[in-house]
Chains A and B, each alone.
Chain A
Amino acid sequence: MLDAFLSWTMVETGIRFATPILLAALGGYLCQRAGVFNIGLEGTMLSGAFAAVAASFATHSWALGILGGVLGGVFAAAIFALFVVSLRTDEIVTGLTVNILAVGMTTYLLRAVFGVQGRFASDQIVMVPPLGLPLDWIPGIGSFLSSTSILVYLALVAAIVINVYMRYLPGGVRLQAVGEAPAALAASGLPIARTKWLAILVSGGLCGLAGTYLTIGELGQYVDNVTAGRGYIAIAAFVFGGRGVGGVVLAAFLFGLVDSLAIRTQGLGLPSNLAFTLPYIAAIAAITVVGARSRRVSRA
């Protein structure tokens, strides 16, 4: 049994499950640095997932499918930014609205555009291919690394780029300032609203990639509410991850592992409903830990 838990397959599944969580969590992380708590990751991701399938189906190109997914996410994020930044509505209410709106819109469009309900599958949907790195020789995980989707590597690249940006570019300090001390930016004559807009749009692109991965990266079809709460887990991941990108990556991977563990336990004959609640339990645990931590700090 121990063997089953620690097998390479589990790590592989963990990475696959972690990829969309990581992409969305990176988006949420950027927003949080900019002082915006983006609870709309879930809906943004769903919007990207739908757009990716539609674009891939229409153009027979996986590259344009990815572009479509990114634009779908950016579109949802633009709505969020318009209300939260420009019209100053409440970010939690707006984020939840984005989530609800995305479910409604995609369900409607699925019927209106493709004339189907529940799911849309077609051999015209072109999947994102593996990157095909010559890594087969690595024992254990090699064949996975060489056969896994481009999008998994893209998630990793995104994490590295954001990390470099936050640490080594002036923009990183400015972005941090937007969230932590907007007066500091204002005093240097730097734009606050524009920086927030930018962070939210980039997070939209990342959520779009996350949705793209779920559909034309993994499933090859569109299923209603395909994101299934991963946007919320992504929130837990960036909250749990803390101030650094490294923490976000680690948290996303842990949640991915828990997710794959859930699948494993299913194989062991535990009730599947229980298994599916595992990620949410992990998310609640994470938020409780962070909540307790921040309470201690603020009481000091």
Chain B
Amino acid sequence: MDDSPALRVDGVTVEFGSLRAVDDVSLACRAGEVYALVGENGAGKTTLMNVIAGVVRSTRGSISVAGRPLPVGDTRAALQAGVGMVRQHHTLIPSRTVAENIVLGHEPRRGIFYDRRRAAELVAGLSSRFALPIDPNAVVADLPVGLKQRVELLKVLSWDVRIVILDEPTAVLPPDEASRLLDVMRGLAAEGRTVLFISHKLKEVVSVSDRVGVLRAGRLVAESAIVETSIPELASRMIGEDAAAAGAFLGVDEGAAARSARAGAGTPVLAVEALRVTDADGKQCVDGVDLDVAAGEITAIVGVEGNGQAEFMEAIAGIRDVASGRVSIGGTDVTGLDVEARRQGYLAHIPEDRLFNGACVSLSLRDNLILGFHREPRFRTGPFFRAEALRAFARGLVGAFDIRARYLDQPIGELSGGNIQRAIVARESTHDVPLVLVAQPTRGVDIRAMATIHARLRELAAAGRAVLLVTSDLDEALALSHRIAVFFRGRILLGGETREIGRERIGLAMSGALGT
């Protein structure tokens, strides 16, 4: 037996033009180990993993697997050498079946023909061997996010890889699926594989991994056994500040204090009555929902994705047509108003898909910040913009929300996810409206951006706005909200005061296991 590590990364540097995304990183992992990699958005985690999986060419440095060097930038060679990666963004063919997706690139054949029966058998075999149940003949487009992720993992495992890399696999998963995935990861390690895992959720990292490495601005700034570190220490390493400062970013549970200050139940700002929404296929995706949100209150909607939460929010925002029911804001029936009319004085919206609906990626940061304010007289002289006033306004938001851009006119699409989200939150929360709709505000953003965004949402409520939040992160819902509503199959299966509802009951309701 040779004693070379299962994976060795040696002096890897990746440069994109003048940007050094990964800076001289060396690390080694054993077989049977779960190694977590943490760091802020843009720290270079994905890039480093891409180098290991042969997706990106390194500028310098080398990778070796069980002592054998890997060719640079060759995904197929990496797969054949036993290195596979579940990427941050899906890599599935939506119109094809689960089996076709999993065997893509090494399809079983009979003669020259595709042997679909054997493909389905192979997939069924993999699925039972790794305890990841899936229907091989289902079409991928019809699967919920959690199952798509499962297909991605099976696809990697179908190459019989020894090194399994997962890039933020739990970011889109509801809690029960996330914890199930963590179990699968432990199982893979127990079989002698090496699991490399990226996550922003430090609790997860601490619960599943053996060792953890911290990347900051491309450098591996710390590495330790998980038993020798702690969440506050990891956080402080990630952001490069001392533990006390980092603690402020971790205030996930200070919600409890803020909640006691909940405003008295006056007339609701948002009143939704018997709302029904039908999707394009004619399915009732929102099936008779009543919901009130009072001034000064954050109401969180939680649920497994695809249970009507997204459609419910879009219907309130005016993006989606309502089949029946009523939406009132501040006592006015807005059901018949279009998006633009609703945004004039009624509501602001921080949408789920920040790149597609929240920002115009080719416009500058400045232009994105002033969208919606651009008609106001203070920014106009006749038909012309008052450039100085606009810049001053945008600069004010950039300062207040700590948006990191190189310059004000930088296209917003070039910023990191966390900074784009800060910009959208900055803009939307500045509108003087009674209701703020917020969907998945911190998905995929790092702890520092998350802290800014959470603080802002609390401020909004404290200032007397009504906030309606949809999130698949139960911790976030528990930390922020005064009230919680659990969506299941288009209805509210469980609702009430956050401090009275237990986490367990929420979990049960999310899976539909709770009777009403």
Contacts and interface: CB of A to CB of B under 8 A. Distances in A.
Given A170-B114, A174-B104, A177-B104, A183 B89 contact: yes
B282 to A, nearest CB: 10
B91 A184 contact: yes
Contacts of B447: none
Interface in B69-111: 74-79, 85, 87, 89-96, 100-101, 104-107, 109
Interface centre among A172, A176, A181, A188 (most CB of B within 10 A): A188
Interface centre among A169, A170, A185, A190 (most CB of B within 10 A): A170
Interface in A239-260: none
B96 A168 contact: no
Contacts of A186: 55, 75, 91
A179 B360 CA distance: 25
B155 interface: yes
Interface in B12-63: 54-55
The A interface, classified by DSSP as helix, strand, loop or mixed, is helix
Interface in B112-138: 112-114
A189 B74 contact: yes
A187 interface: yes
Contacts of B155: 187-188
Contact of A189 (B87, B94, B105, B112): B105
B55 A184 contact: no
B191 interface: no
A300 interface: yes
Contact of A181 (B75, B76, B92, B105): B92
A4 to B, nearest CB: 44
Nearest to A300: B280
A173 interface: yes
B340 interface: no
B424 to A, nearest CB: 23
Interface in A13-66: none
Interface string A256-300: 000000000000000000000000000000000000000011011
A173 B114 CA distance: 9
B96 A176 contact: yes
A296 B280 CA distance: 9
Contacts of B78: 189
B113 A168 contact: yes
B414 interface: no
A180 interface: yes
Nearest to B85: A187
A202 to B, nearest CB: 17
B279 interface: yes
B93 A184 contact: yes
Interface string A157-200: 00000000000111011101100110111111110000000000
B93 A176 contact: yes
A185 B55 contact: no
B75 A188 contact: yes
Nearest to B110: A168
Contacts of B279: 300
Nearest to B158: A188
Contacts of A299: 280
B96 A189 contact: no
A43 B109 CA distance: 38
A188 B96 contact: no
* Chain B contact patch, size range: 20 to 34
B93 A177 contact: yes
Interface centre among A172, A177, A184, A186 (most CB of B within 10 A): A184
Nearest to A167: B114
A248 to B, nearest CB: 17
A188 B101 CA distance: 10
Contacts of A188: 75-76, 79, 104-106, 155
Contacts of B109: 170
Interface string B145-189: 000000000010000000000000000000000000000000000
Interface in A109-130: none
B96 to A, nearest CB: 6
Given A168-B114, A170-B114, A183 B91 contact: yes
A177 B100 CA distance: 11
Contacts of B101: 184
A70 B112 CA distance: 25
A187 B75 contact: yes
A170 B96 contact: no
A254 B341 CA distance: 48
Nearest to A182: B91
Nearest to A178: B93
Contact of A183 (B54, B77, B90, B100): B90
Contacts of B114: 168-170, 172-173
Nearest to B80: A189
Contacts of B74: 189
B112 A169 contact: yes
Given A188-B105, A300-B279, A173 B93 contact: yes
Contacts of A170: 107, 109, 114
Interface centre among A169, A181, A185 (most CB of B within 10 A): A181
A82 B54 CA distance: 26
Contacts of A177: 93, 96, 104
Given A169-B112, A170-B109, A176-B96, A189 B91 contact: no
Given A172-B114, A188-B104, 16 more contacts: A168-B114, A169-B112, A170-B107, A176-B96, A180-B94, A184-B101, A185-B104, A185-B105, A186-B75, A187-B75, A187-B85, A187-B87, A189-B75, A299-B280, A300-B279, A300-B281
28 contacts: A168-B114, A169-B114, A170-B107, A170-B114, A173-B93, A173-B104, A173-B114, A174-B105, A176-B93, A181-B91, A181-B92, A181-B93, A183-B90, A184-B91, A186-B55, A187-B75, A188-B79, A188-B105, A189-B54, A189-B74, A189-B79, A189-B105, A190-B76, A296-B280, A297-B280, A299-B280, A300-B279, A300-B281
Interface of A: 168-170, 172-174, 176-177, 180-181, 183-190, 296-297, 299-300
- Which 8 pairs across A and B sit closest by C-beta, in order of nearness? A189-B76, A300-B280, A188-B105, A189-B75, A170-B107, A187-B91, A183-B91, A181-B93
